[in-house]
Amino acid sequence: MPEEKTAAEKKSLKLEILEKMSQLVTTGFGIVAALAWNDLIKKFFERLFPRPEDNLLAMFGYAVLITVLIVGATFMLGRWVEGAKNQLSEAKKYQGDTPPDTQS
């Protein structure tokens, strides 16, 4: 006999679905924005470097620069998220208890 879900479990499931849908929509908008910027940057390089061989070298340099920046930003974001998780974990650990630095 299947177990019925409690109201809290149903709310939790709805919240999880809402969070995932929000992430997907945000990612979709990010991709659209990235493609628009990509087109603009391509046109910029075509005008700045009219000869195809100059354009290729400049675009390669741009790709390397952007890759380095994105890897760095991703690394920093990962560290910030990890720090936030640690703080949340510490806060949950002491929830209801007096934190160690305020004990007399």
Q: Please give the pLDDT value at position 50.
A: 82
Residue 1 lies in a domain: no
Residue 59 lies in a domain: yes
Where in the sequence is the domain holding 28, given as residue range(s)?
A: 8-48
Summarised one tens digit per residue, pLDDT across range 1-30 is 456 778 878 888 888 899 999 999 999 999
Summarised one tens digit per residue, pLDDT across range 31-80 is 999 999 989 988 888 888 888 777 888 888 889 999 999 999 999 999 99
Residues 44 and 54 in one domain: no
Domain count, the chain: 2
**Is the pLDDT confidence value at 104 over 50?**
no
Residue 22 lies in a domain: yes
Residue 104 lies in a domain: no
Residue 88 lies in a domain: yes
pTM of the entire predicted model: 0.56
- The answer to whether 59 and 45 are in contact (CB under 8 A) is yes
